[in-house]
Every structure is written in structure tokens, then in C-alpha cells.
Amino acid sequence: MSNLPSEPEFEQAYKELAYTLENSTLFEQHPEYRTALKVVSIPERVIQFRVTWEDDAGNLQVNRGYRVQFNSALGPYKGGLRLHPSVNLSILKFLGFEQIFKNALTGLMMGGGKGGADFDPKGKSDAEIRRFCVAFMRELSRHIGADTDVPAGDIGVGGREIGYMFGTYRRDRNRFEGVLTGKGTHWGGSLIRPEATGYGLVYYVTHMLEIAGAGSWEGKRVAISGSGNVAQYAALKCIELGATVVSLSDSKGALVAVDDGFVTVEDIEAIMDLKLKRKSLAEYTPKGNLKYIEGARPWVHVGHVDVALPCATQNEVSKEEAEVLVANGCRFIAEGSNMGCTLEAIEVFENERRTKKGDAIWYAPGKAANCGGVAVSGLEMAQNSQRLSWTKEEVDQKLKDIMKNAFYNGLETAKKYVPMEEGELPSLVAGSNIAGFVKVAQAMYEHGDWW
């Protein structure tokens, strides 16, 4: 890693994985896997290209486009496309690296990749977004395919953008195939895909609650950050299961319950409509006891909560915020976002897990807890290959099974490789990292990628 240019987000993702592998008995039992770690940390291919498009005034605009095809040992590269001004190679490498092991934990045949552009959809007209998506896909299309690389949506890329990109691929390549996921349900998309990451997160935490002896969701107070797709459906599923949601947020500030208030289904539906119009939470006027705090994240403002679900972006829970959550009685933290907690915050949670046996804090990393989104993308690929559509109930049941398997895979792997004292809950971050890594490394070995 020392020979790389500064890529802070990618270096953080690598260090988190390497730290948990080093502090387990994996390398003692399998020293050869050190070689695999060196190989898997370098992408198989990085594609960078320019995207030129015309704005509504007729002026030429140019952006940087990327696709990081990180690892294909388990299947075609799979991972989202992000359109946001913050997009750079470090962020996409971190996301692609996480995606390798997240996809492995789903049990489906998918490799890891990520892509996007430093294009900002905010403030752009529908016509400008369409022209950008067409120009972007014309460059990207020569590098992807249903059996090569299957991108999906991410920040800034929803159903509309996927539609524009799919139409461009279909026309330019003269192929109707499952080259993108997140498609419209009447032309190859899967039911439950929009809900999948949020629903899957809640299904995963359900098993955490059960194993820790904390019962069901009924009566639990839940703090959620973000107000996009993941946060919306996680909040709706929590409410459906009897929990009380006390916060949502966006990049401008946080909406927090006060005086025994809570986020309602009606609030979430109104916020969904607001976000479709690319407006901020600051423009929402709640009917109940909710307060908007400008420039804040929710964690230090929510008081006592039982569960915290970071669902916004990377590094959104700091060490100090982690300490406040612990002090306020939060016992379960699971990432709906990718790398939602800083390394220092994770250490706070892990230290609490090790020292508090009866009422331990239990943290679940995004690569396990939020893998439901890409899992249903994998199910969409399967349906496309069969030219079939499954029912909502079929997809939801498969999602529940995948999240259960991801949870127990991490749990049992931690018991196998991470030393524990009696009464200590297994480390889900270590177990998930090791389980995903071993599966990918072994496939790479059998393919001759390392020896």
C-alpha cells in the first residue's frame, strides 16, 4: 500500500480488512492467504474516460467517467454507478473493494466493481441528465455486458438514469440483455429491488436482536441517517415491525424527534416525494414533533436509542459520535451505507462488545448488513437470464434467506478464526471480512490468479 498515491478512502477500506485478518488466526492457519491479500487489493482493470455532453444553453461540458473492474473470481463484475461531484478514483476503488466481499457474502455468482462520474445531477434539467447519461453510456458500453460487467444504480443514479443508460446500450450495441440492474419492472427489472437494501438491513439486524437475546423490533427506538432509498425503506420496514424511528438526515442537516415524537409513514412518503424533486430535508415541514437541525448528523441529538442504522454515506459516524451512542444506551449498530463508521468508531463499538458481556454493543459492517441491495440485483440477473419475472413474495423470501445466510456465515466464521472469551458475542466485522475474503481468495487460487 505504501507505493500507492494518496487514496484515503481506499486505504481505509484496505486497512479495515487487513486489520481484521491480521488480528484473527486466519494467517496462522493459512499463511498462504497473505499472498492472496496482496493480489486481491489491486484491481484487475481500471477504466477512465472523458464524457462530453451539451447543456441546455448549447455549451459543451466535460466530466470524468470511471469503471473500476476490481475482481471477477466469483462472476461478472457487479457494482453501482455513482453520479456525484465527489466521485474520484479513491472513492470508487474503496467502493469496488468493499463490493468484492459484499457480493461474496450474498452467495451469488458476482464479482466486484464500481463506477460513475464527477457529474452533479442537482440543478440539471431532465434533458441535461438524459444527454449526460447517453454520452456516459456510449463510452462505458464497450467495457460491459451481461456476462462481463453488470452495473447498477447508486447515488445520483435511479430508475430514470438506468432507463436512459439501458436504452443507449440497447441501441448502440443492438443487444437486449441484463447489462444493468435496477431496471423498470416491465422491461426486465425485479420486484423488491428499490426496497432491497433497506429491507435487507432490517432483516439482518433481526438476527442480531435474536442471537443477543434482545427480542424483536417491537418497541425499539431506531436512529437512522440518510433520507434516500436505503433510509426510506429501512425506516418503513422498522415501523412495520413495531419499532419507533426517531431520525432521518441528508447532507444539509438532520430531522430528529423531540418530546416523544417519531417519524411516521406519512413523513417518509412526503420525504420520498421531496427527494424525487431533488430537494433537501430543510424544505420539509413535519406535522408532528420533529425538529430540523441544520448542518447536523442525528447521532448526538437522538437521546436514547436501541438501534442505530447509518444509511447516508461513508464515515458518517465518528469516534465521538460512537461514544455518545454507546453512552445513550445504543446496543446495535448496522451500516446501511458503505463504510459508514470510521475506523475509530468501529474500535469504540468493538471494545464495548469485548468488555460488556451481558449488554454488549454489537456492530455489523456494511459489506454484510447492506448486501441485500446487490443480492436482489443478482436475483434480477438470474431472472433476466431465464427471461422470467418472480413474484414480490418469491423475491422477498429469497432476500430474507440471503440475509440470514450472510449473518450466520459471519457469525460462524468469527467463532472459527477470532479468539473470544466466554459470554462474548462474536465479532461480525471480523467474521464477515474473513468469510468474504476466504471465498474470493480460494476461487482466485483455483483460477491461478495467485500461487
Give 343-398 pLDDT, tens digit per residue.
Answer: 999 999 999 998 876 688 999 999 999 999 999 999 999 999 999 999 999 999 99
Compute CA distances 55 → 62, 105, 124, 125, 255, whole Å. 10, 42, 9, 9, 34
* 430 is a domain residue: no
At 360 the pLDDT is: 84
Query: What values do phi and psi take at 82, rounded to 5?
Result: -115, 130
Handedness of CA 12, 429, 333, 379 (dihedral sign): positive
Antiparallel, parallel or unpaired: β 253-257 and 244-250: antiparallel
Which residue in this structure is represented by grid cell 424527534? 257
At 179 the pLDDT is: 97
At 284 the pLDDT is: 92
* 137 is a domain residue: yes
- Whether residues 145 and 47 share a domain: the answer is yes
Burial per residue of 191-215, b for 16 or more beta-carbon CB atoms within 10 angstroms, e otherwise: bbbbbbbbbbbbbbbbbbbeebebe
Nearest-angstrom CA–CA distance, 285 and 252:
15
Pick the last residue of a domain from 161, 187, 213: 187
Query: Residue 50's beta-bridge partner residues?
Result: 64
- Whether residues 176 and 290 share a domain: the answer is no
Q: What positions carry a catalytic annotation?
A: 114
- Whether residues 132 and 61 share a domain: the answer is yes
- Whether residues 212 and 349 share a domain: the answer is yes
Low-confidence ranges of the chain (pLDDT < 50): 2
In terms of Cβ atoms closer than 10 Å to its own Cβ (0-12, 13-18, 19+), residue 122 is exposed
- Whether residues 234 and 341 share a domain: the answer is yes
* 378 is a domain residue: no
- Whether residues 124 and 204 share a domain: the answer is no
203: CATH: 3.40.50.720
- Whether residues 151 and 206 share a domain: the answer is no
Q: 414: Cβ–Cβ under 8 A, 6 or more apart, which residues?
A: 420, 426, 427, 428, 430, 431, 434
- Whether residues 357 and 211 share a domain: the answer is yes
Say if CB 204 and CB 406 are below 8 A apart: yes
Pick the last residue of a domain from 187, 208, 239: 187
- pTM value is 0.93
At 431 the pLDDT is: 97
Range of the domain at 51: 43-187
- Whether residues 179 and 203 share a domain: the answer is no
Give 64-85 pLDDT, tens digit per residue.
Answer: 999 999 999 999 999 999 999 9
Closest CA to 141 of 108, 107, 164: 164
* 51 is a domain residue: yes
* 56 is a domain residue: yes
* 399 is a domain residue: no
- Whether residues 182 and 206 share a domain: the answer is no
* 444 is a domain residue: no
Counting the structural domains of the chain, the total is: 2
At 277 the pLDDT is: 83
- Whether residues 204 and 88 share a domain: the answer is no
Say if CB 439 and CB 74 are below 8 A apart: yes
Torsion of CA 366, 372, 377, 381, to 10 degrees: 120
- Whether residues 218 and 339 share a domain: the answer is yes
167: CATH: 3.40.50.10860
* 350 is a domain residue: yes
